[in-house]
Amino acid sequence: MTTTRTAPALETAKRVAAQVTDPEMPMLTLADLGVLRDVAVEDDAVTVTITPTYSGCPAMATMRDDLVHRLLDHGFDDVRVRVALTPAWSSDWISERGRQALRDHGLSAPGPAPAAGGPVPLTLRPTRRDLACPRCGSSATAVTSEFGPTACKAMYRCEDCLEPFEHVKEI
């Protein structure tokens, strides 16, 4: 994060921005999701940098809106939201707290993302993941759909307690 002379304002801005939540997964803050990249304050103007989780993310405008209006509520008059496309968002950026929040809400958190760069190998079989049921902890889980209700999730079912649950995918 950028350091500037206006430290107290910066602290406030960081704290406020860090509390804004994802509109579709409100158990996660933008900071925990790794979407919030930077907060800077210069001459009373706040610049917040965010990055989309995927190109078509329809929630970007809403996030931008929420950030602006929370910061305005906290006395900042000049708020700008920048979108950074690089480096591309990775599920590795979800914080430990974010992962815990996912588990607390019955979602399975992503494992390590595949390495970026180079040609992507073709995979003709569904990705094998060793998951634990977020409800009972059983490792007897089966994928029911590689594409979940939102782009970033896959659907699973626990063979033991029968719970259907979502897994946040590794990208």
CB of 25 to another protein, least distance (A): 7
Q: Any contact of residue 136 with Zn ion (CB under 5 A)? A: yes
Query: By C-alpha distance, which of 158, 156, 154, 157 is closest to 168?
Result: 154
Give the residue from 86, 89, 71 showing the smallest Cα distance to 33: 89
Exposure string over 63-102, b if 16+ CB within 10 A, otherwise e: bbebbbebbeeeebeebebeeeeeeebbbebbeeebbebb
Q: Which of these ranges, 5-13, 36-44, 76-84, 92-100, lies near another protein under the rule CB under 8 A?
A: 76-84
- Footprint on residues 50-89 left by Zn ion (CB under 5 A): none
List contacts with Zn ion (CB under 5 A): 133, 135-136, 138, 158, 160-161, 163
List contacts with another protein (CB under 8 A): 23-26, 49, 52, 54-59, 61-62, 64-65, 69, 73, 80-89, 105-106, 116-120, 122-126, 142-151, 155, 157, 159, 161-164, 166, 171
